[in-house]
Structure 1
Amino acid sequence: MPHNLAHFHHDQIAKDGFSIVRNFLTPEEVARYRKASEEVVEYAREGKWPHVRTRGKQFPPWPKNFSPDIWGISGLLNPDLGELSLPFHECYSSEKILAIASDILQTDKNGLTMELLNMLINPLTNFGLDWHRDYIKPEVTPEEEAEQLLLDPYAGTQFNLALTDDSCLIVIPASHNRIRNAEEREKTSNDDRKEYIEGQITVHLHPGDIVFYNSNILHRGTYNSEIVRMTLHGSYGHVDHGKTRAKGVLQFGVAEWLPRFHPTEPNLIQLRSKLEKLAKEFEGQDLGFALEG
């Protein structure tokens, strides 16, 4: 571990499971990335981009049939997006966002690996995600849950970067550090899986705010069709812990287009090279999907 690394966000996530930075983007950056996002949303709703999250389906694989009623767009770095992808190269590889990821994962930027960059948007009809942890299935026993919560908690980190007002993410603070209590186990496993849980809070973001969070905090999302949402949703990995992250990253098909991805930003070139090594390590293997639903 490098010495003298900042650790404010690491410590905050260790305690609460998430860390918010207000005004992370300048107003000019918000305007630029929102314009780029609006173009991608229009492109996807018109059926010109197949890698979308269709309303009613929470986790991959998403159906290939097209519907404009989508709640997410995957693969913002995918070269098949052409020029629509270019503004997101700059955002994802900026020094200031990598500095936070480095703080959280306690490595310098050379120890970070590229993972995912997607977009979360408002569907055309209301939709809500179930309570979940990203890497732990709800049906595990308490013993299995305790074991899996200890497995590489800083192998990677993920973020929501709001370009519009966003009050969609609901979390249970500090739940990444413990197994579920009786109420949580029941409400994350029943037929509904969207009920109020004691202690939950809504993460309110304004344009330009960013929240990083531990992927195994208990969380869910609510999607209001009447409120415009454009939130960049991405992640970074620690180069020494790729095996832990492989299923959650490669399940999105990134290995298919990575050989065609030739960025020009030095930071992104470095990030890409690390992911390429991970993809080659698991080449030809069917890793399945982290969650179902």
Structure 2
Amino acid sequence: MPVPIPHKYHDEINENGFTVIRNFLTPEEIDRYTKASEIIVDMARRGEIDSVRTTNKMFPPWPKNFSPDIWGVSGLLHPNLGEKSYEFHNLYGDEKMLNIVSDILQISKDEISMELLNMLINPLTDFELDWHRDTIKPEVTPEEEAEELLTYPFAGAQFNLSLTPDDCLIVIPKSHNRIRTEEERNKTIDSTRRKEFITNQIIVNLNPGDLVFYNNNILHRAKYNSKNKRLTLHGSYGNVKFGKSRAKGILQHGVADWLPDLKPQNENLNMMKSKLVDLAKEFEGVDVEFALDG
């Protein structure tokens, strides 16, 4: 008989839209990944990495690196980083991480697909993101919103893994499986109100080594304080059964351009890469467009 897959984290996300795992990393792992991350941040601020998130823009496509005032670095698995990315290969393919993903998506390890691994950092000037759902445009009708929220809610698993104290993420619990209230709709559609307080919002406070997984269509935003150092690894995994539903949100980041050159440093990453290669081939030559504007 097959061993049942645990479902603790799946159930928590299903109920609240997110789950927090405290002390996921050991002190030694925090130190190791922090050192690897600081090298990447220094390179990015010097303009040596093209794929960054600049403070004048919230969503892709971002312009190529032109300023050290950035709030994120994309493509931590990019082959151009060479050995500097190997620690991130280890993290992304770590068995304990994949065990959580398996729980969340209720699939076996060999059904998990590679998606994205990026980093969120403190910009040099304060910066805020608007309220949004990652793959549903704010202008959709209530009927369209309800349909999209119920389509493959466990097609993927998105996370933030903090290496420093992190209080940037703001969410509306339980907003991942219902249409917006009148207040929420007003404050996501009206461009002058997209950073306002929304009833029931909470800040997800993370300590170094804490991990949060969340449904990427929970209503959320982020507030970046330039004075507080932030090193948070931000990524996602996919359910290979529902790859097509994830294509726009993943391929919009340009991962298919460098995927063939990726040389995974562990078997798990190699296995997951093969799933994304298949998806990229299926959408080769197709304009997947961008999920959000801004």
**TM-score scaled by length of structure 2:** 0.98
- What is the letter of the counterpart of residue 18 of structure 1? F
**Given the alignment of the two structures, is residue 211 of structure 1 paired with residue 216 of structure 2, yes or no?**
no
Superposed CA offset, 1:121-168 (max 9, x none) = 000000000000001000001111011111110100100000000000
Equivalent position SS for 2:204: strand
1:56-76 deviation line (CA, Å, top 9, x unaligned): 200000012511000000000
Unaligned runs of 5+ in 1: none
Distance 2:90 2:3 in 1: 28
Could you tell me which residue of structure 2 aligns to residue 179 of structure 1? 179
What's the counterpart of residue 244 of structure 1? 245
Q: Which runs of 5+ in 2 are unaligned?
A: none
Q: Quick one: which amino acid aligns to residue 61 of structure 2?
A: P
Letter in 1 for 2:269: L
- 1:42 paired residue number: 42
* Alpha-carbon contact 2:47-2:65 (below 8 Å) kept: no
Aligned to 2:236: 235
For residues 247-283 of structure 1, give each alpha carbon's deviation from its aligned partner in whole angstroms, at most 9, with x where no partner exists: 1000000000000001130101101010000000001
RMSD: 0.8
CA distance in 2, matches of 1:56, 1:173: 28
Specify the code of the residue in structure 2 equivalent to 1:237.
G
C-alpha deviation, 1:51, in angstroms:
0.3
CA distance in 2, matches of 1:88, 1:173: 30
Partners of 2:74 and 2:119 within 8 A in 1 = yes
Tell me the residue number matched to 1:62: 62
SS in 1 for 2:184: helix
Partner of 1:275: 276
Task: Tell whether 2:144 aligns with 1:144.
Answer: yes
Equivalent positions of 1:28-177 (< 5 A) are: 28-177=28-177
Matches of 1:205 and 1:242, distance apart in 2: 30
1:175 shift after superposition: 0.1
Q: Which residue of 2 aligns with 1:264?
A: 265
Distance in 1 (alpha carbons) for counterparts of 2:4 and 2:99:
13
With over 3 angstroms needed to count, the CA separation of the structure-2 counterparts of 1:149 and 1:3, relative to structure 1, is farther
The Cα shift of 1:189 comes to 1.0
Could you tell me the TM-score, scaled by structure 1's length? 0.99
| Equivalent residue, structure 2, for 1:9 | 9
Match of 1:19 in 2: 19
Aligned 1:197-208 pairs, distance under 5 A: 197-208=198-209
CA distance in 2, matches of 1:186, 1:84: 44
Kindly tell me the number of residue pairs found equivalent between the two proteins. Answer: 292
Q: Within 1, Cα distance between the matches of 2:53 and 2:65?
A: 11
Aligned-pair identity in percent equals 65
Deviation above 3 Å: which 4+ runs of structure 1?
Answer: none
Could you tell me how far 1:20 is from its partner in structure 2? 0.3
1:217-266 Cα offsets, whole Å, 9 max, x none, are 00000000000000000100000100000010000000000000011301
CA contact (8 A) 2:168 2:203 kept: yes
User: SS state of the match for residue 218, structure 2?
Assistant: coil
